Amino acid sequence: MKKFLAAIVALVVLTASVTAVLASSYVGNSTSRKFHYANCAHARKMNQKNRVYFNSRNEAVKAGYVACKKCKP
């Protein structure tokens, strides 16, 4: 039973940390006005000074950014 509880706790902690990473995983390009998942090839190639970070998809859309057609964030 203790092992089962430990597994549940581990799962909750893991889920929380994954959510935290996903929460800040949107990157917009201030020049092209497009936003990507941080792991999209386009986002990685983006010039550092053009990067804008978003915590949610909604935040990016509200700021006037358009979703990348490749990674479809």
By the criterion CB under 5 A, which residues form the site for Zn ion? Answer: 36, 40, 42, 68, 70-71
| Vertex 31 angle, CA 68 and 49, to 5° | 105
Report the residue number, 51 or 70, with the smaller CB distance to Zn ion.
70
| CA 53 remoteness from chain centre | 9
Shortest reach from residue 18's CB to Zn ion, in Å: 20
CB of 12 to Zn ion, least distance (A): 31
- Supply angle C-alpha 55, 49, 68, rounded to 5: 50
Least distance in Å: CB of 13 to Zn ion?
Answer: 30
